[in-house]
Amino acid sequence: MSRPRILSGIQPTSESFHIGNYFGALRHWVALQDDNDAFYCVVDLHAITVPVDPVLQRERTRVSYAQLVAAGIDPQRSTLFVQSDVPAHSQLGWVMMCLTGYGEASRMTQFKDKTAKGGAGSASVGLFTYPCLQAADILLYQAAAVPVGEDQRQHLELTRDLAERFNNRFAQTFVVPEPYIVKDTAKILDLQDPSAKMSKSVPAGCVFMLDTPKQITKKIKSAVTDSETEVRYDPQNKPGVSNLISILAAATERTVADVEAEFGGGMYGPLKVAAAEAVVAVAEPFAARTRELLDDPAELDRLMDNGGQRAREAAQPTVDAVYSAMGLQAGRV
């Protein structure tokens, strides 16, 4: 029996993934490889929706790819590739843009958040149409499920709408994908401001997977909590403490209830120490493995080329079907 197809992507916009990416998404990507035909991509075309330095961009794509392998994505079992190696993403991305309403795109909260400071006027059109390219990433591979963190939910709803719209308007072509969001780790919060999600754009409250053990420990020990003293899992009223419980649970592969049973009623100090140790225990071998992979650039190139080749083969039939259904010249039969 064929395994269900799944797809997810991650942006190469920093020198290191953070623990929100890792616990919110990558961990699940790794686990899902067994029972699914998984496609995972480093979305470098999405990364150029904001200004980039070309040298840094190339470097970040490689570091990102190496980290995915270090996290446990097996490039044999899964198709692990870089988005710009597959022209079909851009091809279907344009089609998705033409199917998306201007008002519909204007309602995307990620765009609003990202342009809240500088104003939409200074953003690129690519940042505005970002979700259309994301829809193309998913629909190209006929993915049935998309493992992501909570912040991607709205983009997945748009993807579903676009798939249905195309299927109704032209021809039954796309699988309509389901989000796969694991509640306990769906939103890891900023350690300095637990009202916000952890994000690479705010490094002070963000633990990077390639941080040193000392940096990790310092950031977790200085996490903002609240004016009470007792550990309790209550995301509404105690977001900082609840976030530390979630992080410890994720890092030790225990449930939140289990961690709360051990630390509940206690002081914040021991919880922070345990969380810091647990994250270091995950991050240290991860960083070592990433360095090893980066030390062998030829092997990394080989893996990336091979992944690109496999992804191109899988994507092309969808572009052909879409072009043909829409009456485009290149899709003539």
| Span near ligand TYM by CB under 6 A; candidates 18-26, 254-262, 281-289, 309-317 | 18-26
| Span near ligand TYM by CB under 6 A; candidates 96-104, 182-190, 233-241, 276-284 | 182-190
Instruction: Dig out the tokens for 157 from the structure.
Output: 């709803």
State which of residues 134, 217, 225, 290 lies at the interface with ligand TYM (CB under 6 A): 134
> DSSP labels for 57-99?
HHHHHHHHHHHHHHHT--TTTSEEEEGGG-THHHHHHHHHHHH
Q: How far is CA 42 from CA 9, 17, 80, 121, 199, in A?
A: 6, 12, 8, 28, 17
246 three-state secondary structure? helix
**φ and ψ at 324, to 5 degrees?**
-65, -45
| Span near ligand TYM by CB under 6 A; candidates 19-27, 95-103, 161-169, 218-226 | 19-27
CB-nearer residue toward ligand TYM: 230 or 253? 253
CB-nearer residue toward ligand TYM: 192 or 324? 192
| Span near ligand TYM by CB under 6 A; candidates 150-158, 162-170, 261-269, 325-333 | 150-158
270 three-state secondary structure? helix
CA-CA distance, 311 to 78, in Å (whole number)? 10
Give the number of C-alpha atoms closer than 13 A to the C-alpha of residue 210, restricted to the C-beta side. Answer: 18
CB-nearer residue toward ligand TYM: 164 or 296? 164
Q: Check 117, 183, 200, 272 and give the catalytic one.
A: 200
The distance of closest approach from Cβ of residue 147 to ligand TYM in the complex, given in angstroms and rounded to an integer, is: 7
Total residues found in the chain within this entry: 333
Q: Which of 269, 245, 267 is nearest to 258 (CA)?
A: 245
Q: Is residue 238 annotated as part of the catalytic site, yes or no?
A: no
Angle among Cα 4, 313, 170 to the nearest 5 degrees reads 75
State which of residues 114, 160, 187, 272 lies at the interface with ligand TYM (CB under 6 A): 187
CB-nearer residue toward ligand TYM: 193 or 331? 193
Q: What is the amino acid identity at position 184?
A: D
The distance of closest approach from Cβ of residue 258 to ligand TYM in the complex, given in angstroms and rounded to an integer, is: 20
Q: Which of 289, 276, 246, 247 is nearest to 68 (CA)?
A: 289
| Span near ligand TYM by CB under 6 A; candidates 162-170, 180-188, 223-231, 265-273 | 180-188
Task: List beta partners, residue 7.
Answer: 39
State which of residues 68, 71, 95, 188 lies at the interface with ligand TYM (CB under 6 A): 188
Q: Is 152 in the site for ligand TYM (CB under 6 A)?
A: yes
State which of residues 197, 219, 238, 272 lies at the interface with ligand TYM (CB under 6 A): 197
Q: Is residue 114 annotated as part of the catalytic site, yes or no?
A: yes
Q: Which of 10, 42, 174, 151 is nearest to 96 (CA)?
A: 174
* Number of residues engaging ligand TYM in binding (CB under 6 A): 25
Q: Which of 91, 90, 5, 7 is nearest to 326 (CA)?
A: 91
Q: Is residue 272 annotated as part of the catalytic site, yes or no?
A: no
Q: Check 117, 183, 187, 197 and give the catalytic one.
A: 197
State which of residues 5, 6, 10, 42 lies at the interface with ligand TYM (CB under 6 A): 10
Site for ligand TYM in 31-70 (CB under 6 A): 43, 46
**Catalytic residue list:** 114, 197, 200
